[in-house]
Chain A
Amino acid sequence: MLEFIKQPWPWYIAGILIGLTVPALLLIGNKSFGISSSLRHICAACIPANIKFFKYDWKKESWNLFFVGGVAIGGVIASYVLTNPNPMVIAESTKQALASHNVKDFEHLLPTDIFSWESLLTLRGFIFIVVGGFMVGFGTRYAGGCTSGHAIMGLSNLQLPSLIATCCFMIGGFVMTWLILPFLLNL
């Protein structure tokens, strides 16, 4: 059983479990699923700087911070206790395309030649680690949600604005992947 759990989980198991998070949060405590909100609560709690956007009762939303703290702990358990004994299996075509753009590590969840402390001070590392993160934080808040708040929670409630947001997430991702990443990866 444990050996089975240690293997990478199929998409339908993950999809069902993630989908069930929506009713679980609603029925346990009337909470709507959304993760990027945690970043706003962190700003409100730590650096509100008298900005209107961060002046609200973040303590009422502290459940969200407990949730993301749990996600980090879950990451520890999944990686150090339920460790996948095998290297990543990546689509051959993706691997070849990325290798031709100077990506070298295909063994881990992330390519460690890009995402490491050593590469942080290189131009490529800085863009992938710092600039990318900034765009994720800025963009999700501007859009009013991320993959969880819009694509999963919003679409579950059949919200048109969430469908628009989700389409824009994907368009942005396609533009980056096909038009800009080949350049950035070769920096």
Chain B
Amino acid sequence: MTTNQVTKENDEFELKETCVNNSEVKKPWTANLVYAFMGILFGIVFVKAEIVSWFRIQEMFRFESFHMYGVIGTAVVVGIISVFIIKKYNLKTADGEKVVIVPKTFNKGQIIGGLIFGLGWAITGACPGPLFAQIGSGFTVISITFLSAVAGTWVYGYFQDKLPH
């Protein structure tokens, strides 16, 4: 195996964990506005269903409310059915492309990182999505939590090679 191949595989490992645009169609930036619109709808759902609430997360981890289990469970079932239909009928994107979903590969990060995120999730009462909605809801101090999360991401990137995977 040449060095070139090693590098390429390494890049693929790193990118497939994050890069989630599998479209090869080049579009002007204004095409992104549809995603902003979807984000707005998503943010409204997040707040109106109180998924962004610290209390709902506490209830979930304390087994004292079904709400969050209902939300996540329903979302997963709808997602599974949707992906199944897309694959079975080989549905194409609006641009006529084949739908690509890159499989996840296992590494120890999903365990160690997952545990660290879980610990943090119960403290902040928010995963990354709700952080944005909380800021929008007027909890401006959460912008500090957001900046701290960006810092955490950056520190991970800095030490990535030294961490067990």
Contact = CB atoms under 8 A, between A and B. Distances in A.
Interface of A: 5, 8-40, 42-43, 47, 49, 51-54, 56, 60-64, 66-80, 82, 84, 88, 90-91, 93-94, 97-98, 106, 109-111, 114-117, 120, 127-162, 164-178, 180-181, 184
A140 B56 CA distance: 20
9 contacts: A19-B79, A69-B39, A70-B36, A91-B65, A117-B140, A131-B148, A138-B153, A164-B106, A172-B122
A32 B61 CA distance: 27
Q: Interface on chain A toward B: helix, strand, loop, or mixed SS?
A: helix
Interface of B: 14-15, 17-23, 25, 29, 31-55, 57-62, 64-68, 70-80, 82-83, 85-86, 91, 93-95, 97, 99-107, 109-129, 131-142, 144-158, 160-161, 163
Contacts, number: 536
A5 B120 CA distance: 31
Contacts of B20: 31-34, 37, 61, 64, 149
Given A63-B21, A138-B116, A11 B48 contact: no
A22 B82 contact: yes
Contact of B128 (A36, A120, A166): A36
